[in-house]
Structures are given as structure tokens and as C-alpha cells.
Structure 1
Amino acid sequence: MKWGIIGTGNMGEILIDAWMSAKVINQDELYVTNRTINKAYKIQEKYPNIHVCEDVNQVAAAADIIYICVKPLEIHSLLIDLYGLLTEDQCIVSITSPYSIERLESLVPCQVARMIPSITNRALAGITLVSFGDQISNLMKSYLLQSWRLYSTPTIISENVTRMSSDIVSCGPAFFGYLAQAFINAAEKETKITKELAAKLTEEMFIGFGKLLDDGHYTLPQLIEKVCVKGGVTGEGIKVLEAEIGEMFNHLIQKTHAKYEEDIEKISHQTLQE
């Protein structure tokens, strides 16, 4: 099958890199475009045999599966413009959480799926969050799942946990990366360690941490228990975390969900205007 991607920003480019690294498709089976077309040509410098299309209509005409990787408020007008070019055999795949499967299906005459990726997919790892429309064929569903398994672990979710699942899978690397960077900055400030050495040690710790979980040696609670010897240094550190984290993550979740609801409201307003 031929794939298309509309929008080659950060996540669009990460997906292309993952697909090429995992050999999900051949370069000459991929058609890409971007509002700033030079970004698409920049990707073609890495993968010379991909097709760069000057506009979205060319992608719709060429591709069997079209990934929509634009901002949420750009999707409505894009799909309205593409409507007359799409057939029931094609499949639109959106990567943004505020657009429900039902809303996507109401805007196009073709099959629909939603696949929310993660930056971890670039390492051919991590989760992709998956939802399928009612009109998608079993053949297309199987093909997409098989393709996504080549670089991730596709996990089917229901609409009511979409935002929280995305917070963990898609936003999580940024959230925990931010905490790690704060730890590194504090280490440099409070001790004689250099930021470079602290960063290297922290990065290697994260790699080993992930390996322990990936290999099934420990669950998260077991890992904490093994490292946190009663009365030891780690235990003293955990006391600080218990005292100072408080409801920080509750507030984080409240904020991301508020933004999610705001985006849904804006999207609903677009539909009403149409």
C-alpha cells in the first residue's frame, strides 16, 4: 500500500524516521507534504526516494492511507477540502487526541483510524494508542496493527481514557525528561559535579531503568522497594519526595485535561459553523 503524510513537523518527521528505520514501507511508497514545503524537501534529503507533493490533493490522489499530522484546529478545514477526493477504500489516520473517531468519521467518506504516537517510537519502542472507526474493514485494521507493531506496541483504547493515556504515552517523555533535567540542575548547584557528568549519569540511569522494566525483572513498586533500603540514603530522598511532590501530578493532569476540553470545544465550534 502507498502511504501519505500531511504535516512534517516534529511528530510527522519522527513517524517517517520510525517507518524508514523499521522498514514499515519503502521510500518510494511514501508521499509527503507540508504547509512549509521546504520542510518536506528537507526530509527528502534523508530519504531521496520519497515523493514530495506540492499540495494535499496530490497526497490524497496517490495514497491509500493518509496520516494527518497537522494541528487540531487545522484538521476540519483540511478534511473538508479533501472530502471530494477520498474514496471508501482509503483510510485517514489522525494522530491528534481531541478529534474523536466519531467526529472524524462525520467529516470524510472513507475509513478512519486514530493513532497517537510517542517520541519513543523513534527508537522502535513504546506505545501507540489506537482507536478504529466503525466503517474500517477488518483487512485494513489488521494491516495497520501489523504495520504499527514493527516499531511500537499498538494498544487499543476507549474514548474516555484518551487524554490520560496520551498524557502518559505521548507527553510522558517530556514530563519526566523535565524532572530529570531539574535533578541534573540541582546536582550541579548543590555539589561539585559538572552538569555534563550529571547528565551522562542520569541518561545512563534511565537506559538501565527502562531495561530492568523491559526485561521483566521488576515492576515499578518492586524496583523502588529493592533500591530503597530502610534507614538508608535512598529512603531519606524518598521522604523528601513524599513531602514535596504533594498534588503536583494531580494539578498537571487537571491542566492537560482542561486544555484538551478547550481544544474539543474549539473543534465543536468549527463543526457548528460549517
Structure 2
Amino acid sequence: MEKIGIIGYGSMADMMVQKWLENGVLDAHQIMIHTRSETERLHQLKEKHQEVNICSLEELSASCDILFVCVPPLAVLNVLDQLPSKGRAVHIVSVAAAVTLEKLQEHTAQPVSRYIPTLTSAVGTGVSLVAHGAAAGREDKERLHRLLSAFSIVREVEEDRFDAASNLTSSSPGFIAALFEEMAKAAVRNSDLSLEEANEFLTYALLGTGQILVERGLTFAETVDRVATKGGITGEGAEVIQQQAPQMFDDLFTQTMKKYEQLKSQINEADKHH
């Protein structure tokens, strides 16, 4: 019976565990968690599933087949340094942005992979990005794939494309929400609609658009063509976006990619002084 270890129990770790238990992919007694702070989230999990094991790093290392490291980027390498170096083989999966496979491998002899989760997996959808270190074997990859498939579509992407890809999988729910909030506010400024109405109308439009794209297999461009008849009202609006949005999104990529690089430098700096 395989054992799944988790270090750190924030919202992403909680999402994963809840989904595995809900979908019957794992039983509670297969899950081992180590965390420095016993959060409300963890108490709720324990109340509902008494068989979840809360344990030490030593116990995790001794019993787990796969170990998800769910701590902030600047804490990841520290955690790896604390793991016992001898003992059984365990597949280490880091969930942090900007900590490269190369960095992870410098701090452990175990096989490593990276996984970028997405908030939308809480409702059983979204793309999970994975990249594997050279030491990760077929069995390791298959196990990780199987676990993540329980709540998402799994896509393996070369690590050098990881940052841009995570803008589109992991960060995009935040970007989409920010974008539509501005559209809702513009509706309020330019009409007698209330913010509540604008939010509700847009939310359902968003949900429906996503469903149509997925179920009919349409591209964004095809959807624009279907809704925006030439010379019609939607076309006028789409044109404004096509003229003004490229600059905004180029800036968004420039800023976020710069942030990834900064984070990587911080991790390297901290590692040198460690």
C-alpha cells in the first residue's frame, strides 16, 4: 500500500488531500503530513479523517513512496537538507515556483520532479504542469501522473518553458479575475447596473464560455467569430480589445518573468550563504 507524504499544509496541499480522499484515490491512512504549525485547516482534516498521520520528517522519509514539498520557494532547499539522507528511495515533488530541478538535485540524492498546481483543481479541472529530473524513473512518473489526474489534466512541459506555462495554468485564474473585475467596474461606471449584477452576469458568461470552448473544441478566435458578426456590436467591442490588450499582456509577461528571475536569484543567494 503506497504512502503519500506531504511537508507543509497550506491551501494547495489541502486541495490535493481533499481531492484524493473525495475521489477515493487514497485512503486517509495512506497520507502522512509533516508541518511546523498545526493550522485550523489541519485540525479540520484530522477531525474528519482521523486516520491521517501527522508525523516527523524521519517517519515521512522512512515510510513514503512519494513526498510533496508544499512550502514557500525560499524554504524548499532547507527542508530537503533536513531530510535523512540514508534510507529508502522516495520520489520528491516540489510544488514551489522558481526552484529548479538542478537546485533540488543539489540538495538531495533522491529522484525529483516539479509540479505547479492550480486553484481550479479544487473544482476538478485545470492543468497540472510537471517536469521531471533525470533520476525520476518510469514508475515515479506514472505514480505522480495518476495522483494528479484525479483532479486535473496533467501536462509535462520542459522546465525552460515552465514559467510562461504557469502564467497560463496557475496564475491565470487570478489574472482572469482581475480582468473581469475591471470589466464589471466599467459596466457600473457606464450604466445603471449594480456591481452585484455585473459580477453575476460576467461570472456565468465566463463559466459558459469555458464550457463551450471545451465541449465544442473551439479556439478563442473561432468563438470571437461566432459571437461577433461583422459590423455588429460585439465586433466593435472585440476590436477595442484587440487594439489595446496586446500591450497590457506583453507587460504582464515581462513583469512576471522578471519576478521569476528575481525569485531564482534570491534562492541562489540564500543557498550560497546557507
State if a TM-score over 0.5 links the two structures.
Answer: yes
Residues 206-217 of structure 1 mapped to structure 2, 5 A cutoff: 206-217=206-217
Residues 44-123 of structure 1 mapped to structure 2, 5 A cutoff: 44-53=46-55, 55-84=56-85, 87=88, 89-123=89-123
**C-alpha contact 1:86 1:109 (8 A) present in aligned 2:** no
- Partner of 2:239: helix, strand, or coil? helix
Comparing 128-137 with 241-250, greater Cα deviation is found at 241-250
1:153 Cα offset (Å): 1.2
Distance 1:49 1:185 in 2: 47
1:247 corresponds to 2:243:
no
What TM-score, normalized by structure 2, do the two folds share?
0.92
1:199-236 CA deviation, whole Å, 9 max, x = no partner?
Answer: 22211111111111111342111001111111111112
1:42 Cα offset (Å): 3.2
- Partner of 1:215: helix, strand, or coil? helix
**C-alpha contact 2:76 2:96 (8 A) present in aligned 1:** no
1:61-117 CA deviation, whole Å, 9 max, x = no partner?
Answer: 332211011111001111111143653x21110012311112212211212111111
1:32 Cα offset (Å): 1.7
Comparing 43-52 with 182-191, greater Cα deviation is found at 43-52
- AA aligned to 2:166 is S
Gaps of 5+ in 1: none
**C-alpha contact 2:31 2:52 (8 A) present in aligned 1:** yes
Distance 1:56 1:224 in 2: 52
1:189 Cα offset (Å): 2.9
Query: Which residue of 1 is the match for residue 173 of structure 2?
Result: 173
Query: Which residue of 2 is the match for residue 3 of structure 1?
Result: 4
- AA aligned to 1:92 is I
Shift of the 86–6 alpha-carbon distance from structure 1 to 2, 3 Å rule, reads farther
- AA aligned to 1:173 is P
- AA aligned to 2:44 is K
Distance 1:175 1:250 in 2: 13
Query: Which residue of 2 is the match for residue 139 of structure 1?
Result: 139
**C-alpha contact 2:69 2:92 (8 A) present in aligned 1:** yes
1:112-150 CA deviation, whole Å, 9 max, x = no partner?
Answer: 111111111111111111111111221121122122222
- AA aligned to 2:263 is D
**C-alpha contact 2:120 2:126 (8 A) present in aligned 1:** yes
Distance 1:176 1:102 in 2: 32
Distance 1:46 1:170 in 2: 28
Deviation above 4 Å: which 4+ runs of structure 1?
none
Comparing 182-191 with 94-103, greater Cα deviation is found at 182-191
RMSD (CA atoms): 1.8
Gaps of 5+ in 2: none
Shift of the 208–181 alpha-carbon distance from structure 1 to 2, 3 Å rule, reads same
Q: Across the two proteins, how many residue pairs are aligned to each other?
A: 272
**C-alpha contact 1:83 1:108 (8 A) present in aligned 2:** no
Distance 1:217 1:163 in 2: 26
Residues 120-269 of structure 1 mapped to structure 2, 5 A cutoff: 120-269=120-269
Distance 1:17 1:86 in 2: 29
**C-alpha contact 2:19 2:150 (8 A) present in aligned 1:** no
1:12 corresponds to 2:13:
yes
Shift of the 254–83 alpha-carbon distance from structure 1 to 2, 3 Å rule, reads farther
1:263 Cα offset (Å): 1.0
Query: Which residue of 2 is the match for residue 43 of structure 1?
Result: 45
Query: Which residue of 2 is the match for residue 21 of structure 1?
Result: 22
Distance 1:22 1:2 in 2: 17
1:169 Cα offset (Å): 0.3
- AA aligned to 1:199 is N
1:261 Cα offset (Å): 0.6
